[in-house]
Amino acid sequence: MSHDSVRPSEETGLHRHPVVGRPGKVVAVHLNYPSRIAQRGRTPAKPSYFLKPVTSLAAAGQAVERPAGAELLAFEGEIALVIGRSARRIAPADGWSHVAAVTAANDLGVYDLRSADKGSNLRSKGGDGYTPLGPATLPAAEIDPAALRVRTWVNGELVQEDSAGTLVFPFGELIADLSQLITLEPGDVVLTGTPAGSSVVVPGDVVEVEVDVPGTEHRTGRLRTEVTEGSEVLPEFSAQPAVDDHQRAEAWGSREAAGLESPFELTEDLVAKLRKVSVATLSAQLRKHGYNQLSIDGVRSDKPGSKIIGRARTLRFVPAREDLFRSHGGGYNAQKRTFDSLSPGDVLVVEARGERGSGTVGDILALRAQVLGAAGIVTDGGVRDHSAVKDLDIPTFSSGPHPAVLGRKHVPWDADLTVACGGATVQPGDVIVGDDDGVLVIPPALLGDVLDAAVAQEAEEAWIAARVAEGTPVQGLYPLTGEWRRRYDAEREARISQEGPK
């Protein structure tokens, strides 16, 4: 498939040629559109790729088969680039000049088979017919690449629309980046990412993708693909389809779209209530509910009087080992990636095994967390640049200062998984509350009952404190019993009757 094979048809703006032939390779980008990145919740610093077999290519109008026993076949409308001349170690400014043509693509994938190849996408995205292209190409030399638009319809309803002008990694940069280690040859195809709106389709659905330059005659026409049901069951010696709610949410685009229960939300009302109650009171209520292992021990705030309230994000360090630090400690490692992915309201909880002999966060990363709106940082390890971190607005709870960098005691390993911090098990999404008394982990399912009881307890204790200040002995007053209990309850009922419930 060379540039010379691209010839105009009778329809202005459309170039008919055998898009589906035998290119040497098909390269696909993982994440590129900001709308899709926001859905996925992770921001790539550099582009990353996977290969699709050339046997996955299909022409417009061909059907695609959802494997028997599979549930989650998802479409991804994309802009595909067809290489026109060889590219090897070129600069980003020269990348577009190596593109001969542009066409529409559908980067289909079966989420049920994602686990089979641990990230390579070979079977999940490499099946026969999983890369339809066409029906026509647009000449790259006549197009402003940033003006290209991709749209996708499912059963006639528009579900995706975005502009190449929003891309995190422009086309020229992708071509240049790939060419540093891989020679791109005429006919090679590069899929450039999909915007938000990708979702699941079922047998009988029709997916159409079109690439155009709005306001011009440059358009590919609609790439039509009908979904059919496969009849051949995978044999026992092959990896079988397997899904869970995480894969369902990823395939459909959200938990809500997948029909799953909405995740717990830490609302403004809940945060306001949490600000009114102390960690000590919450701890007492958790104990009454049978939970005694939810305090993160050995950590203290760098700013007395500060409080953290938020949802847990997690980061795990493993003990230092020279070879592992060389492979995982440098560059854009798990620590930096996690800090870069924080969102407003997140509390980053770091498992450092209680090791105080090294820093686990410093001023630059703490500042990054603050800029992204994170609510706090909790680590059972040390903090470098302690004075500078303390001067930031974001509260940090740690085991104390230490000047050493990670490599002395730690290797940054992985994130967003269940960790142990200060003797407590913390899962992503747990509610984290900290003040001068310490830090607690509250399972979301418990929060409502525990918080209401804590608010009631603090109101009661404020009333008791007022009586003690008046000179009343604590016998029978703390805790409330007998006549003191009846008196408190009567005053409380009278207040509620007069003011209404708070």
Give residue 18's pLDDT band: very low, low, confident or very high (50, 70, 90): very low
**Alpha-carbon gap, residue 212 to 207, rounded angstroms:** 17
Domain ranges of the chain: 14-229, 292-442, 452-499
Query: Does residue 118 have a pLDDT over 80?
Result: no
For residue 363, say whether it is annotated as part of any ligand binding site. Answer: yes
Q: Kindly report which listed range (185-199, 202-216, 307-321, 327-341) carries the lowest average pLDDT score.
A: 327-341
Give residue 493's pLDDT band: very low, low, confident or very high (50, 70, 90): confident
| Count of alpha carbons within 13 angstroms of residue 160, beta-carbon side | 34
Position 21 scores a pLDDT of 57
Question: Is the Cβ–Cβ distance between 83 and 158 less than 8 Å?
Answer: no
Kindly state the tokens that stand for 350. Answer: 């770091």
For residue 365, say whether it is annotated as part of any ligand binding site. Answer: yes
**Alpha-carbon gap, residue 380 to 395, rounded angstroms:** 14
Cα separations in angstroms, 26 against 20, 122, 224: 11, 12, 20
For residue 416, say whether it is annotated as part of any ligand binding site. Answer: no
List, in order, residues 6 or more apart from 319 with CB less than 8 Å away: 353, 355, 409, 410, 411
Fold of 14-229: Fumarylacetoacetate hydrolase; domain 2 (3.90.850)
Q: Kindly report which listed range (148-162, 170-184, 283-297, 483-497) carries the lowest average pLDDT score.
A: 483-497
Query: Does residue 146 have a pLDDT over 90?
Result: yes
Query: Does residue 15 have a pLDDT over 60?
Result: no
Phi and psi at 415, nearest 5°, equal -145, 165
3-class SS of residue 82 = strand
Position 501 scores a pLDDT of 52
Q: What's the chain's average pLDDT?
A: 90
- Answering whether pTM is above 0.85, one says no
CB crowding 191-213: b at 16 or more within 10 Å, else e: bbbbbbbbbbbeeebebbbbbbb
Give residue 298's pLDDT band: very low, low, confident or very high (50, 70, 90): very high
Give residue 6's pLDDT band: very low, low, confident or very high (50, 70, 90): very low
Kindly state the tokens that stand for 424. Answer: 């407590």
With CA atoms as reference, report the closest residue to 227 among 253, 258, 202, 259. 202
Beta-strand relationship, 206-212 and 149-154? antiparallel
Specify the CATH class of 292-442 in words. alpha beta
List, in order, residues 6 or more apart from 457 with CB less than 8 Å away: 277, 281, 284, 285
pLDDT in tens, 391-435: 999 999 999 999 999 989 999 999 989 999 999 999 999 999 999
Rg (CA), the chain: 29
Position 245 scores a pLDDT of 85
